[in-house]
Structure 1
Amino acid sequence: MTGSALVLAPLYVTPGAILLWPGASAITLCLGHSIGLHRLLIHRSLEAPRWFARVLAYLGTLVGMAGPLGMVRLHDMRDWAQRQAACHDLHAHRAPLLRDAWWQMHCRLDLARPPRFAPEPALRDDVVLRLLERTWMAQQLPWAPLFLWAGGLPWLVWGVPVRVAVGVTGHWLVGHITHRRGPQGWSVDGVAVQGHDLPAAALVTFGEAWHGNHHAWPESARLGVEPGQADPGWWTLLALRRIGLVWGLKEPVMLVPRDGLRRVAVGVPVATTRE
C-alpha cells in the first residue's frame, strides 16, 4: 500500500480525492479503530448493541492493520509486555526510528513459547468478527471499484492506498513517540514502559495521542481526561450516547486506580462528564 501510495498519489490529485482521503480516514480511524476496536472490543470501556459493535469493527478493519481478533491479540501482547519489569525493544518502541518502523510494520514476531490467545466468548464466537478476521486484507477490495466509479483513479488512489498507508504509518509513529518521550500527568511504578502524551496530535488521532492518560486509565472511554484536552473520539461517543447507540461510558472517576499509579504533574483534578 505504501509503495503504491507514494508512486500514484502525486499523479492523481483532484479536489474531490483530497477531500475523500481525510473524510474516509476520519470515519475508519475514529469510529472504527479508536472507538470500535480500541475503546470497545479491546478495553470494554463502553457498551453497544451487537449490530453496531460489528459495524464499528468493520470500519476498524478498513484501517488496514489487522482483523478485529488480530488487533485484540496484538494489543494484549504489547500491553502485557509493557507491564512487566523488563520489556523487549520491540514492544517498548525502544529501537531507533527506522528500525522500529521496520519491526512494527513489516516484521512478524515468532516466539519459541508463545502465549495462548484466549479471547472472551463474545469475540471468539461472533461469526461476523471471525469472518472479518479471515478476510481483513480483502475488505479493501469492494471499495476500490466504488471509488473508481465515483471519482476515477484519483478517488481510488486516495481512498484506498493513501488512506491505508497514512493511517497505518501514523498509528506506528504516534505509538513510537508516546512510548518514548513527552509530557506525563501520570506514572505507573513497577512497569518497563511508560505512556506519554502528544498534545499536538490530539485532534488528528481522535484523542489517542493522550497515551499517558491511557496507560493510567486503560479502561476509560475518555482519553482526554484532563480539562482542555481535546478528545474527538470522546465527543463522538457522547453524541452516540444521546441517540442510544452506546451506553455505559467509563471514566476515571468510576474506575479503581491500577496498581502503582501516581500523579507526576501538578494539575486540576481529572474531569468527568455527566451529559
Structure 2
Amino acid sequence: MKTPSEKSAGRPGFSIPLLFMHLACAGVFFVPGGWPAFFIFVLMYVLHVFALTAGYHRYFSHKTYQTSRTFQFVLALLGTTAAQRDPLWWASHHRMHHMNSDTEDDVHSPRHHGFWWAHIGWVMNRQLCETDLNRVKDFSKYPELLWLNRHPYIPAFALAILLLGAGSVLNLLFPTLGVSGWQFVFYGFFLSTVAVYHVTFCINSVAHLHGRRRYDVADDSRNNWVLGLVAMGEGWHNNHHRYAVSTRQGFQWWEIDLSYWILRALQRVGLVWGIREPPRSVLTERKP
C-alpha cells in the first residue's frame, strides 16, 4: 500500500534551493578559470559521485559490502555534502524504487510519470522529502545518521565555507597560482554539485530509456556506456537491476566501473571488506 508521499508522485513541484543552485553556476563567468578551477571541479565531482555511488547506493541502499562505523559515517558525511539530502532519505526511496521498479508505485519511473518527473520533478515534490525510517531500520539505529537526516544541508553549507576559506588561503600564500576563494566556491561547489545532480538523476531517467538490455528484467533498466563512464559505474543499470546486491555493476571487463575499483583499493587497506560479486550463473545468463 502506498504512503501519502508516494501517492503524490507525478504532481508538479518547485524547489527554490534547487533553482538557486543552478542559477549560481553563472558565477563561473565572474571568477578566474584555468587549471585550478578545473582541478577543484574534478576533485569535488569525483569525491561526490563516489560517495553517492559507492556510499549511498551500493552500501546504504543495497549493503553490497561491509565497513566500519567510522568509515560508514565518512561516506555518509561526504555524500551529504553533495546536497542530495542524507543517506537514510536516499536509501529509503531507492529501496522502494527496487521494490516497485517501473510500476505505478515507483515514484520516479519515466514509463509512468514521464522523463522530466523521473529526472528531477520528483525531487522537487515536498511530500517526497519525508524519510520512511521503517525502510532503513538497519541504519536508522545510528544517532549520527539520524542527525544527518534531521540536518541534511548543514554539511553542504559547511563545504561551501570550507572551499571559500581554502581558496582564500591559497590566494594569500601562493598568489601566482591564480586561485581565489570564490573560484573554489563556484567551480568546486555550485558547478560541480549541479553536474553531479544531473549525472545521478540520469540513472533514474536516461538509464530507463536509452541503452542496451543484457538481461530480461521486469523493469526498463538499460546499460548505458556514457553513464557508465561519467557516473563511475552506475550506468551499467540493467546489470544492477538483474543482481542488485553485487558491489560490481560493470559485469564485463570492458564495462568500466571506477567506483568498484576504488572500493577494491579500499579493501586492500582494510577500510572495506565483504565485497560481493555477481555469481557465474548471472554472468553467463542471456536474454531468451
TM-score (norm 1): 0.83
1:48 is displaced (CA, Å) by: 0.6
May I ask how many residue pairs the two structures share in their alignment? Answer: 252
Q: Deviations over 1:124-164 (max 9, x none)?
A: 11011111111111211222222112222111112222222
Q: Does 1:227 align with 2:253?
A: yes
More moved, 233-242 vs 151-160: 151-160
Q: Is the 8 A contact 1:17 1:155 kept in 2?
A: yes
Letter in 1 for 2:212: P
Letter in 2 for 1:26: V
1:105 matched residue in structure 2: 123
1:9 matched residue in structure 2: 28
Structure 1: gaps spanning 5 or more residues: 266-275
Structure 2: gaps spanning 5 or more residues: 1-19, 168-180
1:158 matched residue in structure 2: 187
- C-alpha separation between the residues in 2 aligned to 1:77 and 1:181? 22
2:38 matched residue in structure 1: 18
- Give matches, 1:1-275, under 5 Å: 1-15=20-34, 16-30=36-50, 32-82=51-101, 86-87=103-104, 90-94=107-111, 95-109=113-127, 117-151=133-167, 152-188=181-217, 191=218, 193-253=219-279, 263-264=286-287
- C-alpha separation between the residues in 1 aligned to 2:266 and 2:142? 23
2:11 matched residue in structure 1: none
More moved, 86-95 vs 173-182: 86-95
Q: Is the 8 A contact 1:203 1:230 kept in 2?
A: yes
TM-score (norm 2): 0.79
Letter in 2 for 1:3: H
Identity %: 24
Q: Deviations over 1:81-110 (max 9, x none)?
A: 217xx4257432234444544523322456
Q: Is the 8 A contact 1:194 1:215 kept in 2?
A: no
Q: Is the 8 A contact 1:105 1:172 kept in 2?
A: no
- C-alpha separation between the residues in 1 aligned to 2:68 and 2:117? 41
Call closer, same or farther: CA 1:89–1:67 in 2, change over 3 Å: closer
Q: CA RMSD in A?
A: 2.5
Q: Is the 8 A contact 1:123 1:129 kept in 2?
A: yes
Letter in 2 for 1:184: R
Q: Is the 8 A contact 1:34 1:233 kept in 2?
A: yes
Matched residue SS, 2:139: helix
Letter in 1 for 2:97: R
